[in-house]
Each structure stands twice: as C-alpha cells, then as structure tokens.
Amino acid sequence: MNEKSECPIWGTPASEESADGRDGSLMDSPRAGGRYFISEAAIVRLSQTDERSKARLTTWLVNQRRLGVEYPEIFKKTITMAEQQKDLSKHDRADRLLQYIGDQIGEIGKHFDFFPYDIPNTEIAAWSESVGAHEVWYLLDYLDEKGWVKNNKDNFFTYRHIVTVKGYDRLEELETANTKSSKGSVTILPTEPEKKVLNPESKMRKVFIIHGRDDGTKETVARFIERLGLKPIILHEEPSQGRTIIEKFEQHAEVAFAIALLTPDDTGGLAGEEQSHKPRARQNVIFEFGYFIGRLGRHRVCALKKENVETPSDYDGVLYIPFDESGAWKMELVNELKNAGFDVDANLAI
C-alpha cells in the first residue's frame, strides 16, 4: 500500500511503498522522475549534498529507468558519484527536455500543457537536470529559439507547447543516436556550437530595469529586486567598453524579465492642443518597453506606472502596476515574477 510522503532528494510530494524489510525506502517521486530505492545511510548523506549534485543524481535516476531499471538503487556511493560528475551542457539538457515533451505529446499534432507553479514538483525538472523553474524556462526558450518547440500561453494559468516539424526531425536524430554507454547513461547528439553560451542561472537571475529621469523610483525598484535575490540591470551602470548605446543595450538585454518604470518625465499630445497634453514616460522607455515585449513575451514584462502617466495604446493587455507609496506594488511584482518562473520569497514584499 502506498502512503503519502516526501521525496528524500527534493522534499517534494511523493509516495512511499513497503521496502520489504530493507534498510531504506521505496519511493515514487515525480520530481525525481519516478520510482527508486534509497538506503537510510544515503538519506542522511543527502543532507550534505548541494542542489546541483541532486540534479545530477536525478539525471542518473532518469537514465537508469530509460535503460529498463524499474527501481534504481541509491546508496552513499551513488551520491558521491553524482557529486563528482559534471553538469550536462545546455545543449544536452535541452535535448532531454525536447525528448520529454515529445514523449508526453506522443502524436504529431498534439500538444503538451503544464501549469507554471507545477514545474518544481514534476518530471519536467527531472528530465532536464534543472534545480528550479527558472532553469526550465531558460531551456524552453532555447528550444523555441531553435525552432524545435513553439511555446504559447493558452490562458492565464496554462502554458502550451507544440513540437514543430524541425523539432520532430531533431527527435528522429536523437532516437537514431541514442545508444547505451558504459556508464549506463544515454548518448545525446550534440547541437551545433554557438558563438556565445550563457550560464543559465546568471541569465535567469537578471531583471532589466527600463527607466527615465526619476532616479528615486529607479533606485527603490533596483534595491527591491536585489532584496529578492535577483540582479537588476541598469544600462547606464554597466561598462560601455567602447560600444555604441544600441550595442551596449543589445549586450545587456540577455535577461529573463524586464520592468518598465513609467514615470511622468515628459508631456505630450496632439499638435496644437498643448492645453490637453498629458504626462508621459520618456521615449527611450517606451522603445525599450516594446523591445522587451517582443523579445521576452508579455508574461515576462511588466510596467510600474506612476501617477497619471499616459500608457501606450498599442500595448493594451500588458500589466500596469500602480507604483503606490504604500508599497503594494511589491507584492504584485513578486506575483508576476513567480508567474514567470522565478523562485522568489513573497514574504520579502511585506
């Protein structure tokens, strides 16, 4: 009889079966990719193990099941092995994620839906050697950029993924290339090298702050972003290194989220009707705001709107959060970051 329990590796919901007198636990954990046995000594050993090593251990579990092992067994030496292994490359992790999505879809024309809040507790993190939701989002973006998967937001709560024709071609290549290695893992066909390989965690901790002349608001938001454990990117604070402004902007636009500060720095309206002009954000703010909506998608861009600033009519549907003196904007911003896959503590907004 299965009983509700916690995954010893990740502390996420799992079920536990009878171990038939063995010194350990038989677990079934979605976050660990399925079933496994773990000894009591290994459970104690896990308390000294970092999350990246746990992610590599989870990759080993997934590989063992793909080789037909119903209950891979974890002992202390298994954990030591995982600690000594290197992380999979971004390319390999993306391939594994594509294979997982392909397995879930099953047939051409079908789609795979998931809820963002479910990512940390599901197999999608196990298959992609991800520690948190932000790494999964990074890999999904990579698959989308390669043209292998099309990512769509089906509604406010659900994200829908469709494997493209190019994606199925890639899956066929991987199926042909997958062979058993001496270590019991699976060979992954390498992708073509890129000119620049970003560290997933460094990119996925960066938040670009689009601002005008209101330095006080800029500093308040930047310090709050730092408080959440993220890195605010403020363009003029970054080194120019002899580049033009647009080159510098493109270099530092490699972020996972953007916040536009719509502050009343300018006024504008129809020519000849100056008396009806309204407060507006600076033109560079509107330009960068639109740039990031196109680059990241609406769900990873929001605007903090101060006072009675006029909003661009073409951006209807984008979230505008009132920048109020009471600080309620902080909780709303945290919610948007969480919806975008960031692992941030809402208590820090209080």
Kindly state whether residues 36 and 123 are assigned to the same domain. Answer: no
Kindly state whether residues 210 and 339 are assigned to the same domain. Answer: yes
| Residue 185 maps to a domain | no
| Residue 319 maps to a domain | yes
Print pLDDT tens along the chain (350 aa): 578 899 999 999 999 988 888 899 999 999 999 999 999 999 999 989 999 999 999 999 999 998 889 899 999 999 999 999 899 999 999 999 999 988 888 655 567 776 666 666 678 899 999 988 888 888 988 998 998 888 776 555 667 778 887 888 888 888 877 644 434 444 333 444 333 333 434 556 789 999 999 999 999 999 999 999 888 999 888 877 778 888 888 888 888 889 999 998 887 777 777 766 788 888 889 889 988 888 888 878 899 998 888 877 666 666 789 998 888 899 999 988 887 777 788 787 76
pTM of this structure: 0.51
Q: Which residues contact 8 (CB under 8 A, 6 or more apart)?
A: 25, 27, 38, 42, 43, 46
Kindly state whether residues 131 and 57 are assigned to the same domain. Answer: no
Kindly state whether residues 170 and 258 are assigned to the same domain. Answer: no
Strand partners, 303: 260, 320
pLDDT given at position 194: 38
List the CATH number of the domain containing 171: 1.10.10.10
Q: Could you tell me the residue range of the domain that residue 147 belongs to?
A: 90-177
Q: How much is the CA Rg of the chain, to the nearest whole Å?
A: 23
Kindly state whether residues 214 and 321 are assigned to the same domain. Answer: yes
* Total number of domains constituting the chain: 3
Q: Which residues contact 305 (CB under 8 A, 6 or more apart)?
A: 262, 311, 320, 321, 322, 323
Which residue, of 69, 84, 99, is where some domain finishes? 84
Kindly state whether residues 274 and 235 are assigned to the same domain. Answer: yes
Kindly state whether residues 57 and 95 are assigned to the same domain. Answer: no
Which residue, of 38, 63, 84, is where some domain finishes? 84
List the CATH number of the domain containing 265: 3.40.50.10140
Q: How many CA atoms lie within 13 A of 205 on its CB side?
A: 12
| Residue 183 maps to a domain | no
Kindly state whether residues 303 and 210 are assigned to the same domain. Answer: yes
Nearest to 301 by CA among 342, 260, 261, 329: 260
Kindly state whether residues 38 and 96 are assigned to the same domain. Answer: no
| Residue 45 maps to a domain | yes
Residue 233 vs residues 53, 87, 134, 193, 227: alpha-carbon distances, Å: 29, 27, 17, 27, 14
Local structure of 231: helix, strand or coil:
strand
| Residue 186 maps to a domain | no
| Residue 196 maps to a domain | no
